[in-house]
Structure 1
Amino acid sequence: MESAKYVSQKISKTRWRPVSYSSLQQPDIFATGSWDNEENKVSVWSIGNLGSSGLEDGFEGDPQLICEHKHDGDVLDLQFLDQERIVTVSSTGAVTIFRQDHNSQTMSICKHWPRAHRYPCDNAPSTGVACNSPEIVTVGEDGRIIVFRADQEGVVRVIENADSSTLHAVTYLRTAEVLTVNSIGQLKLWDLRQQSNSPSQILSLSRDRVPLYCVDRHPNQQHIVATGGQDGMLCVWDVRQGNMPFSLMEAHSAEMWEVHFHPTNPDHLFTCSEDGSLLHWETSSPSEMPSFLQGKNTSMTSRSAMAPAGGNQSIISAWLHGDSSKSRLETTHMLPSQTLSVNSLDVLGQCLVCGTDGEAIF
């Protein structure tokens, strides 16, 4: 089911290189970023030839390092802009675009914005990045949202005091709208077409302002959003209705670092945590998912924050039911039990990659 590769650096982020949907190819290249090492790196790996049998028998060999480049500061987030370019954000506040040359198998810096995020007299860590090529949006501890374009030198736009607290993550909701999560339990929606420096919508956890660390939106139903945070709960929101999460599910015993819907099978969702676990959540029958993505089942508890208001119940996504009888949520532990944090995961096609503080990539 999984193979571990020990890479002698703590991995902060892992991302698959996108594959074109027209080709049926499975992802074979992923990037990692490291943190808390003497010299941090951005690295690109290949899982090589998967063979004609698909993934049922596991990978043919370990991930192989294709190229790497040193990175100033911890890699706090990393996204592919396209097939060749990777965007990173750093604990130094910098935003960098790396280009991978497939022919020479080398990496170089093609754009660098030092101290994009900053305090008056110090750097502010840049905590999250979202890409919609050529546009790049970053957030930081300084409460700023910054918009860049890969084809321009300068900054396109800064929303100065977007937040009075730390912004932890950002994702695109639609082409010109982004979602941010912050350290006081708020989910904010921003329309980048508007000149206003205020969010178009604010949703929040009604309870103790628990910091939110990660956010992802449903690939087909953009109004459905999942978040995770300090308390390890999985929250599912409907940004069209109300200003509280629809359902809260007990997921992890420590901070949840990332949440991702499967990009083409969104009945499946994955979370990873400081508690050392990687969970696979599904709202459908297990037989639909390739066997390698099924581990050992555990039960979970959930509570629904509010009932869906009116409307045809059957169209409402299973994610919004929480614990209703119409959709059972199954959770599965996908890694052997371990104590060190699983910091990042990414899923594409039938492949999942995650990185840990145990200096391993699975």
Structure 2
Amino acid sequence: MESAKYVSQKVSKARWRPVSSSFLQQPEIFATGSWDNEENKISIWSVGNYENSGLEDGFEGDPQLICENKHDGDVLGLQFLDQERIVTASSTGAVTIFRHHHNSQTISVSQQWVKAHHYPCDNAPCTAVVCSSPEIITVGEDGRIIVLRADQDCMAQVIENADSSTIHAVTYLRTTEILTVNSIGQIKLWDLRQQSNSASQILSLSGDRVPLYCIDRHPNQQHIVATGGQDGMLCMWDVRQGSMPSSLMEAHSAEMWEVHFHPTNPDHLFTCSEDGSLLHWETSSHSDMPSFLQGSRNSSVTSRSAMALAGGNQSLISAWLNGDSSKSRLETTHMLPSQTLSVNSLDVLGQCLVCGTDGEAIFINKQVPV
């Protein structure tokens, strides 16, 4: 079941509100941020569980606006900090925590760092944010990495000259380690305990320094990392081995804006692009072995087909890293009707997928086959 909602805003970010760990619960609330509009907004939407929403028929799948608030600058990053708070990264350099008041169904600013990212004489866009409550990590065009804590006004940690180029995205590798990607094709690993201005590891695309725009790590096998960038290629990396990608796959014909592993079934991965497409990637290894075994940290656990491909004498860790041999075992599906304008953002939780586009539309799919 797919529905489209036209929202009179170019949508730059879309994120589901986390659900309780109850396995069967599907997400119902998501947030969006806009960009390149006269007045940008952060908005909260409901796709309501139509079976017990108490609303009239016809609500099924069609997102309803709950509340919104104006946002200074383009929304370049957006993450839920918890059930009530949402953190945004702005093109003005600001980092803002918005609070969604469930009783009154309103949203308001609860905390803000106005010029978190800046140049000596001007604002610098804050390009991305990642949260693990109460910690908030932001990166920017100024090459800084900032660690903030909700309910503390001062900055907990600043890596002042983390990069000489724009940092486009950030994600956690482990609790105290983060990964960043930049505009010269590098992944940098940072150990926040070191209080150092230099990365503990640098991986990079060889040859052309193609800007990388997005990164995500495998939820179970944390050494497996996916990135995408200006050339539309999907790159898979093993951060334990070497400094170059393990495999490169042709994905999109233009910039890849976001890449996300499915949080509970990482045999599935999703990417979206400037070319107007949203792809669902699936490793066929799951047909040989349940996903919970695939995700095992024991690298000797491999699927029978993987062992056969390797001649049976080589321990293959993951279908995502297998380069050429894995391509025959990767299926890709186009998730949207033919689009012309950029798909800027996507998020997937349970069987629900949401994405936002420059066509001023939000698309919802509540039956993603994962």
State TM-score, norm by structure 2.
Answer: 0.88
**CA shift at 1:196, angstroms?**
1.3
- Structure 1 residues 286, 316: CA separation in 2 closer, same or farther (over 3 Å shift)? closer
Contact 1:45 1:63 in 2 (8 A): yes
Q: Give the root-mean-square deviation of aligned CA atoms.
A: 2.0
Contact 2:319 2:326 in 1 (8 A): no
Classify the secondary structure of the residue corresponding to 1:3. Answer: strand
- Cα distance in 1 for partners of 2:247, 2:28 equals 35
- Cα distance in 1 for partners of 2:326, 2:271 equals 23
Residues 71-118 of structure 1: per-residue CA shift (max 9 Å, x gap):
000000100001100000000000000000111100111110001100
- Cα distance in 2 for partners of 1:259, 1:163 equals 22
Residues 124-178 of structure 1: per-residue CA shift (max 9 Å, x gap):
0000001011000000000000000002111111100000000000001100110
Structure 1: unaligned runs, 5 residues or longer:
53-57, 289-308
Query: Could you say which residue in structure 1 is the equivalent of 2:137?
Result: 137
- Cα distance in 1 for partners of 2:326, 2:71 equals 49
User: What is the number of equivalent residue pairs in this alignment?
Assistant: 336
Q: State how 1:116-265 maps to structure 2 within 5 Å.
A: 116-265=116-265
Query: Could you say which residue in structure 1 is the equivalent of 2:355?
Result: 354
- Structure 1 residues 125, 312: CA separation in 2 closer, same or farther (over 3 Å shift)? farther
- Cα distance in 2 for partners of 1:74, 1:10 equals 10
Q: State how 1:1-362 maps to structure 2 within 5 Å.
A: 1-22=1-22, 24-51=24-51, 60-284=60-284, 313-324=314-325, 328-362=329-363
**CA shift at 1:271, angstroms?**
0.2
- Cα distance in 2 for partners of 1:236, 1:270 equals 13
Contact 1:318 1:327 in 2 (8 A): no
Output the amino acid matched with 2:178: V
Classify the secondary structure of the residue corresponding to 1:324. Answer: helix
% identical aligned pairs? 85
Query: Could you say which residue in structure 2 is the equivalent of 1:303?
Result: none
Contact 2:316 2:322 in 1 (8 A): no
Contact 1:323 1:329 in 2 (8 A): no
Output the amino acid matched with 1:145: I
- Cα distance in 1 for partners of 2:82, 2:314 equals 38
State TM-score, norm by structure 1.
Answer: 0.89
**CA shift at 1:23, angstroms?**
5.2
Classify the secondary structure of the residue corresponding to 2:213. Answer: strand
Classify the secondary structure of the residue corresponding to 1:165. Answer: coil
- Cα distance in 1 for partners of 2:98, 2:12 equals 17
- Structure 1 residues 312, 86: CA separation in 2 closer, same or farther (over 3 Å shift)? farther
**CA shift at 1:197, angstroms?**
1.2
- Cα distance in 1 for partners of 2:283, 2:128 equals 28
Residues 22-61 of structure 1: per-residue CA shift (max 9 Å, x gap):
3521001000000000100000000012438xxxxx9714
